[in-house]
A and B are shown apart, each in its own frame.
Chain A
């Protein structure tokens, strides 16, 4: 199963002087089990796109299908199903810590499951589980105010609030923005573990080509409200011109290796990660 976006067009403030086409006839598929990264210049429509994935925005035309169910279905028979399908998609916004509001971390994380009207024991169990996943110790933190945490911890508490709903697909809009390098690394590792160990489908909007190269197995490049490219990171990052037209650049290591290759050094010009780059360089210089 998968999330399918079919011919979606979205227009902000139609029929006013402020009318703006944010998405123009976008079609794409996010396969189940994939780690999909969405990249694009500011204003390319990526945030608008991800908000369609769980029905926060309804397409002006077109449809979004989650596991084959049209989540925009408003008919009497389909509405319930659409609602259930939407709940399969968890959404973590940019600066997710700004959504925290409860008096204690546990209560905030319980907000989602409580809205699903689960039993108290079930909620408690899910809160413990979600806190475990994001690395917040339950006994230390569950009673503390979310506002007493550091920025990175607040972000993780907010993500736990989404995970507690046990979504099948997890959409993250720039989850690492504004975190310090160690907090960033930790968070990305946790997302990677979610993908590997819990087999969760991840959709991540990111500006960092390095992160995408390291984590994703499926990349979507957005430009001017359209899909400019989709494929594995290796395929997409090889299309240098296309990336630059979309206002992006390949990962730094790829740029370096391309330059070395252009300068006549027989290195692999299509590497993604620093490790691969190092490997290629070692081979060229016959270092064991």
Chain B
């Protein structure tokens, strides 16, 4: 029942985007998102759209999968578009009851919807090409300067790593317990909400017990191997800035320059 859940949406591959350093990807993505907000002209958006398409192609992730990640957000995009359609004063194109659809409305609606779509697409591209563990490593590394002001960067990253590590375990555990209780005639799919909640008890009690047991064992195992926080800890897989990362940064600078020029068209 739960086998078909994908953790995050990491799509394993060996594309340029996959090979980029996670920190570089994260920072460049943030900057790109900011640019999406700053440069709001039509040509600029056309350019970003083309670049986004190019990035999707480069990532090697099937377009079908990328578009599927938009699914839960479609209605927000459509809602935004419709609201903008009616809410800008200007040259009237058509009239629905009391409300006028204006030319400015159509333009603004399209741009804003496009902005939303671009934001989502670019961010999903990051999660498609970066494994959750790389992401937490990148976060730890980027947050490291915060340690001076008492930010527990290592601890935060460790907590995220452990949580991520245990999601699949707990999913398979849940799956197993559900199946065991189903074999004893438990029913999780019929009845009203109250009844369904009550039916969850035979799953939740064993699940919590096992989560606590695992947490306990993990703490013990970590202590047994002398874990005592991030001080002086080295890593097996160092994040390293390589040539491909410099190229990506260069490409980003060119991209930003084109965006800047677009302001004057």
Residues in A lying within 8 Å of B, measured CB to CB: 12-13, 16-18, 51, 54, 56, 87, 90-91, 93, 96, 98-101, 111-112, 115-116, 147, 161-162, 165
Contacts and interface: CB of A to CB of B under 8 A. Distances in A.
Given A13-B4, A98-B206, A115 B177 contact: no
B185 A101 contact: no
Contacts of A17: 11-12
B184 A101 contact: no
Given A13-B3, A17-B11, A101-B202, A87 B180 contact: no
Contact of B177 (A98, A116, A161): A98
Given A13-B4, A111-B202, A99 B180 contact: yes
B182 A101 contact: no
Contacts of B12: 17
Contact of B184 (A13, A16, A111, A147): A111
A12 B3 CA distance: 7
Contacts of A115: 184-187
Top 4 A-B pairs, shortest CB-CB distance: A115-B185, A101-B205, A112-B184, A91-B183
Contacts of B180: 91, 93, 96, 98-99
Nearest to A86: B183
Contacts of B186: 111, 115
B19 interface: no
B88 interface: no
Nearest to B183: A91
Given A98-B210, A100-B206, A116 B185 contact: yes
The SS class assigned to the A binding surface is mixed
B184 A161 contact: yes
A16 B179 contact: no
B91 interface: no
Contacts of B6: 16, 18
Contacts of A93: 176, 179-180, 183
Interface in B192-248: 201-202, 205-206, 209-210
A101 B173 CA distance: 14
A98 B176 CA distance: 9
A178 B183 CA distance: 22
A116 B185 CA distance: 7
A284 B202 CA distance: 58
Interface in B43-69: none
Contact of B179 (A13, A56, A100, A116): A56
B181 interface: yes
A111 B184 CA distance: 7
Given A51-B179, A96-B180, A165 B210 contact: no
Contact of A99 (B3, B177, B185, B187): B177
Contacts of A112: 184-185
The SS class assigned to the B binding surface is helix
Interface string B154-181: 0000000000000000000100110111
A13 B4 CA distance: 5
B11 A165 contact: no
Given A17-B11, A17-B12, A99-B177, A56 B183 contact: yes
A162 B11 contact: no
A101 B187 contact: no
Nearest to B175: A56
Contacts of B176: 93, 98
Contact of B183 (A90, A100, A101): A90
A91 B187 CA distance: 16
Nearest to B178: A56
A43 to B, nearest CB: 14
Contacts of B202: 99, 101, 111
Q: Which of A12, A17, A18, A147 has the most CB of B within 10 A?
A: A17
B179 A162 contact: no
A90 B182 CA distance: 11
A162 B182 CA distance: 11
A183 B201 CA distance: 29
Contacts of B179: 51, 56, 91, 93
Nearest to A16: B6
Contacts of A16: 6
Interface string B136-170: 00000000000000000000000000000000000
